[in-house]
Structure 1
Amino acid sequence: MKDYELFVQQIIEDKAQDLQMLSDFIWDHPETLYEEYDSSAEICNYLEQQGFDIEQGIANIPTAFSATFGNKGPVIGLLAEYDALLSLSQVANITYNKPVEHNKAGHGCGHNLLGTGAIGAALAVQAYLEKYKLPGTVKIIGCPAEEGGSGKGFLARAGMFDDLDLALTWHPTPFNAIMALRSLANFQVKYKFKGKSAHAASAPHIGRSALDAVELMNVGGNYLREHLIQDARIHYAITDTGGVSPNVVQAEAEVVYLIRAPKIEDAREIYKRVDKIAQGAALMTGTTMSSELMSAVSEYVPNQTLEQVVFDELDKERQISYTSEEQTFAQALWETLSEEEQQTAVKTYESFGVLQDQHLVEGKNLSDVIHPYEPTTKIMYGSTDVADVSWNVPTAQVTTATAAIGTQLHTWQMVAQGKSTVAQKGMSRAARVLARSAIYVLEHPEKLKDIEQEFDREIGRDQYQSPLPEEVKPPVHNME
């Protein structure tokens, strides 16, 4: 048997400087959903130089791409993300909140690492295929707009994952585990109300308040919560109040709802009920209502056979050590957290697979532990567009430690650590795990058969129906 472990390690080490530069470039150019032009271009240019065949603008999304090496055998897909979050600008490698530029974006979910780690894995698989003339293809799918944009959902609807035999991805967190939990499906819907403006004191009877309609809708939505299934969720944000003058009856107002449930069918039924509440609010206020489905994702369906393969490779990564400087920096970040954040530092990561042996990281600033894999039916009370990939192809996710324990995603602390040596170590660990997992499956065709059999039992390739109607388009520029 070829020593693929040592081989992968050597390739990742050889490419370490390239990967760090790429990751730092993406961190330095934070771009939000469907506007990741610099990041996707930098990635594609690099991969083209490495011998990958590049197709940009797939699914008619300018910042989406595929990068392929190989022309036969099983097709291994690696999912790359590179979008940032609004209003999370933060100077790197400091332990206090200081934006690089106020009200600008920042990589609060570590996608600069996520995308680059997937690329590192692809480079190692590419080198292995070349050296050993092994039948197989590695394909990176560049996935924009994970943060609230359902990017992979639009790619799935366009058939961009149909030629894959399996898909692998990862996510930066403070821990090392298999992301085995099922997620919630969701619909994100914008409701607009239109009324009639009037002087709120001298002629209130003439006005028809759109803001009243939004408020009444929210009251109805809150009463609906009592009558939902236990694991469903409803959230909303008023995105347009119609103005700032209390002496004017607001003629326009807008609210965005995020509706979640363990199954897409359940989420769709709740969506219908929310629609009726919106209609009722319009009737009560004499306004008109229009709605727009902005995005939607299915629930994530794990493939436990593939997860076991990935865990076996993760479990080999037990030589995790940190320098005194890294420990000191992590301790300083811990001290920026509230008491509540400290008390729930590990508990909040159950959804990322930290289900057992939580006591092994108690009192530590950085995790040097591989958490055991536990196949589970538990639900992650969040959503991910990786779910729509999992309905089209066997999929597995792993997380590796790129940040100090206590760091929550979507925070300035996460952004501050995005260029750290701990982040680079975790990213390299993820690249090795994904690469070895892919190579293992390529070297063991019988395992791929087992993975596919589980997928067919759970889903079957003919059962996926996109929750996104064809008339719903991603909000991108330069569409044909």
Structure 2
Amino acid sequence: MTAEKQAAVAAIEKKADLVAQVADEIWSFAELSLQEEQSADLYCRVLEQEGFKVERGICNIPTAFSAFYGSGRPIIGLLAEYDALSGLSQKGGSLTREELVSGGCGHGCGHNLLGAGAMAAALGVKAYLEAAKIPGTVVLYGCPGEEGGAAKAFMARDGLWYGLDAALTWHPDDANEVLTGSSNSCIQTQYHFTGVAAHAAGDPDRGRSALDAVELMNVGVQFLREHMSDKARVHYAITDAGGRSPNVVQPRASVLYMVRSNHVAEAVELQARVDKIAQGAALMTETTVEKKFIDGLADTVTNHALERVLYRNFEALGVPSYTPEELAFADSLAGTYSGSDRAPGVGSQYDLDYAADAQARRAQAGHAMNRFLLPLYQGDAFQPGSTDVGDVSWQCPTAQIHVAAWPNGCPGHSWQNVSCGRTDIGHKAALHAGKVLAAAAIDLLTDPALLEEAKTEFQRRTAAGYTCPIPADAVPTIAD
């Protein structure tokens, strides 16, 4: 680590209490997608106090923001998320399932840590730019609604990410690694069917069942599954079954569909086929159907050049360390779920030798917390889930890291994640992620060759062009 990087890392360390405080307040707010009013306001106030130029409500999304420091190029973006999940209210630092609010929300994906860690990185880069007095800009983007709002994709529709030289982010996980590979693109659409109510026994001929339309649509999509890519997925949830009276022909019914495919252009094509099935179901039942676009996001574009920059800095900084009490907590928490013995890291899913090495490192660590940095993996990898970071990666070179914030094998979107998010284990993950991202950003600000290499790879991988899954007239929304 150069002296300049060491100074930036030290500046982040000095803000450790602030980072933990912000993470804990966001954890307590536990606001759902596109409803993160308190969370966004907190970030904006803190960043303004720290000397950033803050713009609220960017891209016509009320809970989105940007925070700038510096001037000129390169412009390095850092991505923050802060939305929670429903039904995951949980007491922090607990080894048992304990709701704080019955049926309430919780940060089951660790986004309270994600945003705080990205903020820490921005503070570190700001400290560097203040001292170095060189051209360059760091921008922290507040990106709401990752869990069902896809704000980054709406921002991509407005061309926001084309203005960056590179974007960096991280995600809490059970391993310390640089993430690689692609992910599924995803489009969510809600279909509202309207029919005619009638007595199901006395006047069945006068009724037109919206619920029948939903069921026929589901059957139609079932047959579609044979004729789509093996990497594509179509999921659904009936959000309104039309009431609780079986002797009434249901005059309304709604179903929410999620269409996934490995490439966003394929997802758009598949979505059009699902739309036709909905129209066909309405024709068969003599009902009407109204389509409501919810969100859409693209697959992730890998950038190996940026991944190498992140890895070198991760390697230099090492990984978080833990007290005996924290290790004991993690070991006990690992006993509350299955899969705590699995091989960590994305590379373990695709390379047997890599998995064996990861297991050996885990055994040597001796505890459920993965206290080691996994080797850099840059082979073929595919994650079936979806993230709107993908849309950023289609408009500028983008890369991510994982930092262990909970014990090995801990399931995503779980109460265990929420519990860890309010502990020093979680705080250490956020702070360390900020240090790695800041150090990598400093490299990109000071070494034009690194950025040029990343941009050349980006241009090659995105030669087909970005297909935006967001219609021109759509606005960020959530399902009914």
Moved over 4 A (4+): 347-356
| Amino acid corresponding to residue 93 of structure 2 in structure 1 | N
User: After superposition, where does 1:304-383 map in structure 2 within 5 Å?
Assistant: 304-318=304-318, 320-338=320-338, 341-342=339-340, 344=342, 346=344, 356=355, 357-359=357-359, 360-362=361-363, 364-383=367-386
Instruction: Give the 3 Å change call, closer, same or farther, for CA 278–319 of structure 1 in structure 2.
Output: closer
TM-score (norm. length: structure 2): 0.94
Per-residue Cα deviation, 1:269-296 (whole angstroms, up to 9, x for no partner)? 2112212221222222222222122111
Aligned to 1:467: 469
Report if aligned partners of 1:180, 1:353 keep a CA contact under 8 Å in 2: no
Aligned counterpart for 1:458 among listed residues 451, 461, 465: 461
**Would you say 1:413 and 2:396 are equivalent positions?**
no
8 Å Cα contact 2:347-2:381 kept in structure 1: no
2-side partners of 1:282 and 1:342: how far apart? 47
Question: 2: CA distance between counterparts of 1:343 and 1:225?
Answer: 34
Q: Distance in 1 between matches of 2:38 and 2:297?
A: 26
Q: Provide closer, same or farther for how the CA distance between residues 377 and 347 of structure 1 changes in structure 2, counting only shifts above 3 A.
A: closer
Q: Distance in 2 between matches of 1:320 and 1:313?
A: 14
- Correspondence 1:424 to 2:427: yes
Q: Secondary structure at the match of 1:432?
A: helix
What one-letter code is carried by the residue in structure 1 that aligns with 2:445? Answer: L
Work out whether residues 151 and 388 of structure 2, in 8 Å CA contact, stay in contact via their aligned partners in 1: yes
Q: Letter of the aligned partner of 1:305 in structure 2?
A: A
Q: Which residue pairs with 1:202 in the alignment?
A: 202
Residue number in structure 1 paired with 2:442: 439
TM-aligned CA deviation for residue 223 of structure 1:
2.1
Contact 2:346 2:381 in 1 (8 A): no
Equivalent runs, 1:2-401 vs 2, <5 Å: 2-318=2-318, 320-338=320-338, 341-342=339-340, 344=342, 346=344, 356=355, 357-359=357-359, 360-362=361-363, 364-401=367-404
Task: Give the CA deviation at 1:349.
Answer: 8.8
Residue 71 (structure 1) shift? 1.1
Give the whole-Å Cα distance in 2 for the aligned partners of 1:374 and 1:254. 43
Shift of 1:345: 7.1
- Distance in 2, matches of 1:335 and 1:303, equals 37
Please, which moves more after superposition, 376-385 or 355-364?
355-364
Residue type of the alignment partner of 2:123: L
Structure 1, unpaired ranges of 5+: none
Contact 1:181 1:351 in 2 (8 A): no
Q: Map Cα deviations across residues 387-426 of structure 1 (whole Å, 9 max, x no partner).
A: 1101111100101001111311211110011111111111
Question: CA deviation digits over 1:57-93, x for unaligned, max 9?
Answer: 1111111111000112311100111111111111101
Distance 1:308 1:274 in 2: 40
User: How many residue pairs get matched?
Assistant: 473
Instruction: State the 1:344 CA deviation.
Output: 4.9
Residue 205 of structure 1 deviates from its aligned partner by 2.0
**Secondary structure at 1:70 match in 2:** strand
Contact 1:118 1:431 in 2 (8 A): yes
CA contact (8 A) 1:67 1:140 kept: yes
* TM, length-normalised to structure 1: 0.94
**Change in CA separation of 1:456 and 1:353 when aligned onto 2, cut-off 3 Å:** farther
The answer to whether the 8 A contact 1:200-1:246 is kept is yes
